[in-house]
Amino acid sequence: MRWWVFAILAYLLLALQVGLADAMAWESPYGPVAPRFLLLLAVLVGLWASESVVFTAWGVLGLLTDLASPYAGGLHLVGPYALGYLAGAYFILQVRPMLFRRHPLTIASMMMVSGGAIHLVVIVVFFTRKILGYPLPDWSAGDEVMLRLLILLYSAAVGGVLSVVLVRMVPLFGFEVSKVAGPSRPRRRGEPA
């Protein structure tokens, strides 16, 4: 994978996520629901890149998310999203051999599923912090579950649309497709094995 392509896209999508959050957010009873663009890049990498690259890329994206997520009271935590993204990477690596990677619905559904793994880990981390006696202010596990579920739905919907463009950019990443197992189209006559 060409890491500089990944870095530029990560930067753009993080800026979009941070900058357009207010524009695209809608209010829910549990809090503002805004799409997560970094998850789209993660899923794209997760579907196409080799296993080690996937873990590394997802770890980096998780760290970026952590670092771009200040909490109330000036708290900055490193770890919740990084761990979550690693869990998501593991999950997507397990299921991707069964997926048709180019289909927008695949990307949308993977955003839902692997994103669910990410947010589950994040909630577990925050819940553990609560048990340990240093919770986030006004943090409620029930509300968080609902809010993050809505965020995933929204992100999947937006990501499904954007994936139409991003999938066409896959050659730019220079993925080593031969290292990635998955359903393959029938070989044409005369095509090398």
Partner 1 sequence: MNRSGLTSRTMWGAAAVVALAVAALLPDRYASFSKPVSMAVITTVQPLSEPLHKLSASLRQHVDQPLEAVQGVQLRDKVLELENENYRLQWKVSQLEKDISALQKLDSQLGDRSFVYRRAAVSGRSADPSSNTLHLELGARDGVGAGMVVVEGAYLIGRVGQVGHVASTLDPITTAGTHVTAVIGPFSASGSGVVIDTLPLAQFDADGSDRLTAVIARSLPVQVGDAARLKDPAWPGAVHGWIIGQVIAVEDMPDDLLRKRVTIQAIMSLRYIDAVTVLVPSRGAAPGEGATTAVPLAGATKEGAP
Point out which residues bind partner 1 (CB under 8 A): 11-12, 14-16, 18-24, 52, 55, 59, 64, 66-68, 70, 73-80, 82-83, 86, 125, 128-129, 132, 134
At its nearest, how many Å lie between partner 1 and the CB of residue 139? 13
Q: DSSP string of the chain? A: --HHHHHHHHHHHHHHHHHSHHHH-EEETTEEE---HHHHHHHHHHHHS-HHHHHHHHHHHHHHHHHT--BGGGB--SSHHHHHHHHHHHHHHHHGGGS-TT-HHHHHHHHHHHHHHHHHHHHHHHHHHHHHT-PPTT--HHHHHHHHHHHHHHHHHHHHHHHHHHHHTHHHHT--GGGS----PPPPTT---
At its nearest, how many Å lie between partner 1 and the CB of residue 33? 14
Nearer to partner 1, 4 or 134 (CB): 134
Nearer to partner 1, 133 or 142 (CB): 133
At its nearest, how many Å lie between partner 1 and the CB of residue 22? 5
Nearer to partner 1, 78 or 105 (CB): 78
Nearer to partner 1, 78 or 181 (CB): 78
